[in-house]
Structure 1
Amino acid sequence: MHTTPPRNVTAAGFADGLPNPERLWAFLAIATALTMAVLDSAIVNVALPVLARELQVDPATAVWAVNAYQLAIVVSLLPLASLGDAVGYRRIYWSGLLVFTVASLGCALAGSFPMLILARVLQGLGAAGIMSVNIALVRFIYPARLLGRGVGNTALVVAVSSAAGPTLAAAILSVASWPWLFLINVPLGVFTLIVAARTLPETPRSARRLDGWSVLLNALTFGLLITGIDSLSTGDLTYPLLALGGAVVAGFVFVRYQLSLPMPLLPLDLLRRPVFALSMMTSVCSFAAQALAYLALPFYFHDELGRSVTETGMLMTPWPLAIAVAAPIAGRLADRFSPGLLGGVGLAIQAAGLALLAMLPGDPATADIVWRLTICGLGFGLFQSPNNKAIITSAPPERSGGASGMQSSARLLGQSLGAALAAVLFGLALGSPTALILWLGAGLSVIGCVTSSLRTLRGSSLSGC
């Protein structure tokens, strides 16, 4: 692969971003790969009934086409981020994109459900390679003075991809069969591999080795934690309690073992930095709040208000669109103002929006729903870019991979926690639990607002030291 010569080298010995047009092309590679990875986290949901029918499995089994992908990502994020610290983030990114592209072809060609699951696991591993070092690479693509802008642009890509996922899936399935959901990744993947090989920068490397026991304990801890949380919605608490208990035991052993290592897989040294730890807590709370609303509102619109499936999808659009508007602006603001302050204000706005949604009248007008959702999206967008910048800049440059992996892990943990809480409340509450779920989301947003603001009140610098 072509190596981009370092320019604008800082005192720390690494390039302070890329000049244009290399920066534009490098970010295009990052954005395209991230779009594919985010889309494939949601695009298959729409196709589950079709997959179940054509591959002759029941709906409960078909859900594993989603679960297998998510679990592969969760258990491999930190190991791949750690490996990125050792061998360079560009290598992990490029290899992950290669695996993702080949696995996408495997998904399209799968003639049976077990083959599809195997391909989805490989696709998840590839997606983890992309997600684990994505923000770390952005740190070296953009100069330090423009890093907030780069993080904001990344948040814009994620928001637009998330919003477009169901619509794109429905459009493809209306004119083609389900394998085309995966085939579209192949030409995009090949194009991005070529661009990435020519434009992505080399990055600092640390003298660390990947420890096998750490990888195993990481997989057990996060695998059991996520499956335990997800299975809370089944109604039978036997497996969830066993899985969560196993996660606690495995997590205890994992942390104790990591404390004995000079260069641990779990970046405990970063978690000792106030800015980093508070940013992780803020991220989990905010994504849990968002997941609560994203799961409760479609049922509210469709089942309680009697809106059609199309209308329900359209009503959910203002939130991600508002994020897409706010995230780049917040990224630019993060280059000038405290991320803790911006994140706190953003989550306060999101909390207000969720509270307003919880207080909707019995038969609300569409406009009343839309402006409340827009407030939620603007608040989340104002929080997301500054928070991601705080996470990545609170780690030393050579530890950017660990910080990037933790950022993605916090997002997935928050989303899983929010989904599980929504499912439990749907199962336990009498009548409509929507208002209760939204109030819970508002409460989590307030907690996130407090933890974000503490970064400013403590007077912590972005270095986190």
Structure 2
Amino acid sequence: MQRGEAVSATTASASASAVAARDGLPWPQRAHAMVVIILGIAVAVLDGTIVNLALPGIARELRSDASHAIWVVNAYQIATLVMLLPLASLGDLIGYRRVYLVGMALFAVSSLAATFANSLEMLIGARALQGLGAAGIMSVNSALVRLIYPRSQLGRGMAINSMVVATASVAGPSVAAAILSVASWPWLFALNVPLGILVLTLGMKSLPVSQAQAASGRRFSGVDVLLNVLMFSLIFIGADRLGVRGDPGQGIGIGAGAWAILLAGVAVGFVYLRRQLSLALPLFPVDLLRIPVFALSMGTSVGAFCAQMLSFIALPFLLLETYGRSHFEAGLLITAWPLAIVFMAPIAGRLIGKYPDGLLGGIGLATLATGLVLLAALPAHPGNADIAWRMVLCGLGFGLFQSPNNHTIVTSPPPHRSGAASGMLGTARLTGQTLGAVILAGIFSFWPPHDGKGQVIALSIAACCAAVAAVFSTLRTRQPIAKHA
């Protein structure tokens, strides 16, 4: 009897140790792992916009026109978007650490190829591989944060992660301007190589290993991956041809070909999603969308990032063309927004767990909507202080929304679906940003930005998107949230 009790005690002790081991990393390793996460996600998000400022020089040096050069940006964005969910699913199967490190290795190698590209075709190919590597990083980023931090401190980890993503998503032009002021465009890619090597070295030592918990018989379906790639690619390209990349004020350029591509993407999506409904663990996680709080969080994220993209494209036109600010002044004024996010993110992280995520997100998005309305209602000749405090208000609101929202998205699904949740988090962000760009293209086609009317309408619609997202977020307070270990 005593022996049986001893065995039971030993088993219980081992079980407790295993649970403790899963509940985050010890402090020194946790800090090292978060350095890897911060550097990786920062460079992956940053490279989505860092090339924009260099496109004229790239087109000139590689003897191409602007319409072809824009694919240096498009190739990266499409490759990232179409592979987020497949690689997130792969992370659930083989481990998040492997997907992350392979993604970073591919990102570094393709950055080296982009550095030495001597033709536009080679550069576009390298950028597509870069996007694939970035998808590997982004797809499992939040799932790794969930493994790095103990449950009691996960809000803090999500706050740091959200702050980095929010700052990097708007910092591309500023970072590019700093690099291009002292070097040529290949250095935009060359700097990724030593950074990638550093992240790989640290990551192999410090990133946690996830235990596969996939359902029996589950496999990585090539058909599902193909349908996912086709759906997102066709919708992205169709939206792009409907004016996302067109010159403001020159019309959307709606044509039969663009609509055909867009409708083909919708048709593929219908077939793809119908197929996913019959699967226990689908590639496109319709199973997670059946969780009300998860679905509401996704709607919140799409609406918020749509509002952010609408305002971040419209604001430079408002400041430069309507209010006559210089590029330097406009840059400083817009920087007030991400600085406010940096200030608010750690505060939001400490509030997670003390107050409902839905309530925090609702208050944040209502604050964002208020700031956008106030920006749209600026007087004819505002001072810099009038503009700056409104930017700060928007940033504080966005910073209060993002961390709690991401926390719900990551923690509401069961642990074996962490990769899928992480992939959906990135997909929601990119979907919202693309939608915002499409809406703005339509606005500027009817109201060119020269007289300021288009910018005011864009900011007003952005405020409406933020307000709708605030409603979605607040509705989550009525939904039970199952927190998984």
TM-score by length of 2: 0.92
User: Would the aligned equivalents of 2:293 and 2:479 in 1 still touch at CA under 8 Å?
Assistant: no
SS in 1 for 2:24: coil
The number of equivalent residue pairs is 457
1:145-180 deviations in whole A, cap 9, x for unaligned?
Answer: 000100000112123323432222112111111111
TM-superposed deviation, 1:54: 0.6
Structure 1 counterpart of 2:352, from 334, 348, 356: 334
Structure 1: runs of 5+ lacking an equivalent: 1-5
- In structure 2, the partner of 1:253 is 271
- In structure 1, the partner of 2:375 is 357
Mapped partners of 1:354, 1:8: distance in 2 = 50
User: Would the aligned equivalents of 1:346 and 1:382 in 2 still touch at CA under 8 Å?
Assistant: yes
Which shifted more, 262-271 or 144-153?
262-271
1:308-350 deviations in whole A, cap 9, x for unaligned?
Answer: 1222211210111111111121122113221100000000000
Structure 2 counterpart of 1:227, from 213, 226, 237: 237
Matches within 5 A, 1:94-173: 94-173=101-180
TM-superposed deviation, 1:415: 0.3
- In structure 2, the partner of 1:18 is 25
Structure 1 counterpart of 2:220, from 182, 187, 210: 210
Mapped partners of 1:357, 1:303: distance in 2 = 15
Matches within 5 A, 1:27-426: 27-205=34-212, 206-207=214-215, 208-233=218-243, 234=246, 235-238=252-255, 239-426=257-444
Mapped partners of 1:226, 1:14: distance in 2 = 42
User: Would the aligned equivalents of 1:204 and 1:397 in 2 still touch at CA under 8 Å?
Assistant: no
Mapped partners of 1:418, 1:204: distance in 2 = 38
- In structure 2, the partner of 1:3 is none
TM-superposed deviation, 1:8: 7.3
1:382-407 deviations in whole A, cap 9, x for unaligned?
Answer: 00000000000011111100000001
1:344-381 deviations in whole A, cap 9, x for unaligned?
Answer: 00000000000001110111111000000110010000
Mapped partners of 1:173, 1:405: distance in 2 = 33
SS in 2 for 1:133: helix
1:67-109 deviations in whole A, cap 9, x for unaligned?
Answer: 0000000100000000000000000000000000000001001
Mapped partners of 1:29, 1:136: distance in 2 = 14
Structure 1 counterpart of 2:475, from 436, 439, 454: 454
Which residue identity does 1:365 align to in structure 2?
Answer: G
Which shifted more, 417-426 or 240-249?
240-249
Mapped partners of 1:312, 1:380: distance in 2 = 20
User: Would the aligned equivalents of 1:292 and 1:438 in 2 still touch at CA under 8 Å?
Assistant: yes
Do structure 1's residue 438 and structure 2's residue 459 form an aligned pair? yes
SS in 2 for 1:433: helix
Which residue identity does 2:171 align to in structure 1?
Answer: A
Mapped partners of 1:459, 1:169: distance in 2 = 43
SS in 2 for 1:277: helix
SS in 1 for 2:27: coil
Which residue identity does 2:45 align to in structure 1?
Answer: V
TM-superposed deviation, 1:413: 0.2
TM-score by length of 1: 0.95
Which shifted more, 142-151 or 257-266?
257-266
Mapped partners of 1:8, 1:190: distance in 2 = 36
Compare CA radii of gyration and give the structure with the larger one. 2
The percent identity for this pair of structures is 53
SS in 2 for 1:21: helix
User: Would the aligned equivalents of 1:323 and 1:377 in 2 still touch at CA under 8 Å?
Assistant: yes
TM-superposed deviation, 1:230: 2.7
User: Would the aligned equivalents of 2:81 and 2:427 in 1 still touch at CA under 8 Å?
Assistant: yes
Mapped partners of 1:18, 1:299: distance in 2 = 46
Which residue identity does 2:78 align to in structure 1?
Answer: L
1:110-154 deviations in whole A, cap 9, x for unaligned?
Answer: 111100000000000000000000000000000000001000001
Mapped partners of 1:407, 1:462: distance in 2 = 18
TM-superposed deviation, 1:268: 1.0
1:184-235 deviations in whole A, cap 9, x for unaligned?
Answer: 1111110110100000011131243210110011011111122222332242
- In structure 1, the partner of 2:249 is none
Mapped partners of 1:204, 1:251: distance in 2 = 32
Structure 2: runs of 5+ lacking an equivalent: 1-13, 247-251
1:261-312 deviations in whole A, cap 9, x for unaligned?
Answer: 2321011110000111000000000000010000101011111111112222
